[in-house]
Amino acid sequence: MIEQATIDRIMDAAQIVDVVSEFVTLRRRGVNYIGLCPFHNEKTPSFSVSPSKGLCKCFSCGKGGNAVHFIMEHEQLNYYEALKWLAKKYGIEVKERELSDEEKQAQSVRESLFLVNDFANRYFQDILHTHPDGQAIGMSYFRQRGFRDDIIRKFQLGFSTDSRDALVNEAKKRGFNTDYLVKTGLCYTRDDGQLRDRFWGRVMFPVHTLSGKVVAFGGRVLKTDSKVAKYVNSPESEIYHKSRELYGIYFAKQAIVKQDKCFLVEGYTDVISMHQAGVENVVASSGTSLTSGQIRMIHRFTNNITVLYDGDMAGIKASIRGIDMLLEEGMNIKVMLLPDGDDPDSFARKHNATEFQAYIAAHEVDFIRFKTNLLMSDAAGDPYKRAELIKDIVKSISVIPEAIVRSEYIKECSQMLHVEERILVAKVAELKQEKATSPQEKKNTTDNQGRDNTSIQENPAIPESLPNAGNLEGTEGAGALQPTNIQDNRNNERGPLYPKELLIIQQLIRHGEKTIYQEENEDGSIETICVAEFVVADLTQDSLTFTTPLFRQLLDELMLHLHDEGFSAERHFIAHANPEYSKLAADLAEDKYQLSKYHSKTQTVIDEAERLHEIVPHLLIDYKMAIVEMELKEALNQLRQPSVANDPVLCAEVMARYKQLMEIKQQMAKRLGDRVIGT
């Protein structure tokens, strides 16, 4: 955890225009700057940067925030990685909490392994570009593959000579611990105790993490020797788990976000050639089946994935078995077969980006349709095999989480397979039931229910009484009614009251510490009431709390620091160590519209802070009106129930409650200035 004092220093140093300008060409417009959004394709600039607020915002796609959030989105880093990125840019030492001895030891080992890999990466590159064998053998191979020099340097490709201990000797000369050479897999120990290089005589492909660190290498031999493996890859280590890495993700992440699509290929050269052709949103599984960790990594950036295949039917049939995991993740999967004799590498070398993209758009097909056509062609004339393949296809449909999508696939497959739709529906339901009742699923369900129930008991969120519409006096029985459908949005932060609560939270973040009104006490002294105090008092008198947990926590912290010297709610939360608070505050602090130069000269603009005495009470009454309207709907629903309609006593109670709610609504509407039509 980074100390708050360090975060404050980073936020003070990080000038938003300076940071954004590294990636976006900006031009001044009034007091702000504007440029083309780096997060989506656009021709008309809609990305605004406000130096005074320290915020940026695209008013087309909605992405933005402060300098940290911009770097998070643009470089695809987490909150703390983005803070460290900015700290490095501005030369700020990052102070973190004290680690335990065990944590320090583990961190030291991991850092040492990364340092050794970084040394090896630079060593292999240096050999490729400066050593005679590197230029004559390694560089010749890459150029024969059609790779340009800039692409070779971009992907940090390298070469290892035929010497069996060249890397070992260079590492010793530089003072590296040989234990780390073995732990990273760069070297291995022979039976006689001697160290040997693992990758001798190969061109080198470094594997980068999402943040750009080298965790492993792939080495391709250039000699045609059947006794030597064509490719050798780093073994798993404390920093490398092949199931969690995707080759090329570091170079592809921004393009994936911008294009909202990821292409999945098999090998290193496929990725490199597609990049060189101008198609950068591509990653490789490096010859292994997709894992859940790799799928989740792709899903961070897009919901759309297209798998590119060559014409090898045996390989295709083997690999499509793993695609069900993509479907289960809720991703939109398409498949494209390249022309016979081509793989992504060779096809990319023949076409530019426009041609490549056009071919994909014309030939990619939905995965379920592709799988159906592929498998059913093998089962022609064999009813038993056909039945088994139908089960296989239905199994793929059954893992899709979205019910509407499943339904559409069932309809389409019913027509393609010539099977009655009801039969497919029944089979899908059967498969889902089997999965739901499996021992592991039962365990997961039980664990989740246990956690949820505990959370609800510890922090009940249903208010004890109905709000009395902004302290509406004289409304008989108003405070004694029980709201029945206001829920704690613990698992769904977009509950029915979320939009209303968000507007109040926006005022608290922008103006929480500012004065909303003053009143004179009996002794003649003046008491100042700020926005946060006003909101808390207004909600408390009606026994109300926000239904969104994040908003409750934010309000609690605001009240805790409200009277700190020089406190600013906006500043406090934008620079907060909690990324949820920081992102929310940055989003709510940004102004969506800016008055043009013409209107700025001809009109007087009333600042929002000058109208807090109007805005905040209006938002609170509007919030309570939403609660009352929810209660009215609930009362109407109860009256429609036979158990209520056929019970005169119960029906009279609900009718009385409905009448009270309507009276409250009428009084609230008068305050809001709305005309209410009776229902």
Angle at 450 between CA 447 and CA 454, to 5 degrees: 145
Segment 474-526, tens digit of pLDDT: 343 334 333 444 444 444 456 888 899 999 999 999 999 998 877 776 777 77
Provide the token pair at 322: 């793993």
Segment 290-314, tens digit of pLDDT: 777 788 788 777 889 998 887 666 6
Kindly state the percentage of the chain with pLDDT values over 70.
82
Name the residue with higher pLDDT: 175 or 2: 175
Give the number of other CB atoms < 10 A from CB of residue 95: 13
Q: Which of 75-79, 162-166, 459-463, 579-583 has maximum average pLDDT?
A: 162-166
DSSP class of residue 138 equals I
Nearest alpha carbon to residue 169 among 198, 189, 196: 196
Nearest alpha carbon to residue 305 among 278, 286, 265, 332: 332
Average pLDDT over the chain reads 80
What domains can you pick out in the chain, each with its CATH number? 4-89 (3.90.580.10), 107-240 (3.90.980.10), 249-436 (3.40.1360.10), 478-590+606-671 (no CATH)
Task: Please provide the DSSP assignment of 542-606 as one string.
Answer: TT---SSHHHHHHHHHHHHHTTSTT--HHHHHHT-SSHHHHHHHHHHHS-S----HHHHHHSPPP
Are residues 159 and 167 in contact, defined by beta-carbon separation less than 8 angstroms? no
Task: Indicate if the pLDDT at residue 287 is higher than 80.
Answer: no
Name the residue with higher pLDDT: 376 or 187: 187
What's the mean pLDDT in 412-426? 86
End-to-end CA distance of the chain: 55
Segment 242-252, tens digit of pLDDT: 888 899 998 99
DSSP class of residue 381 equals T
pLDDT of residue 437: 64
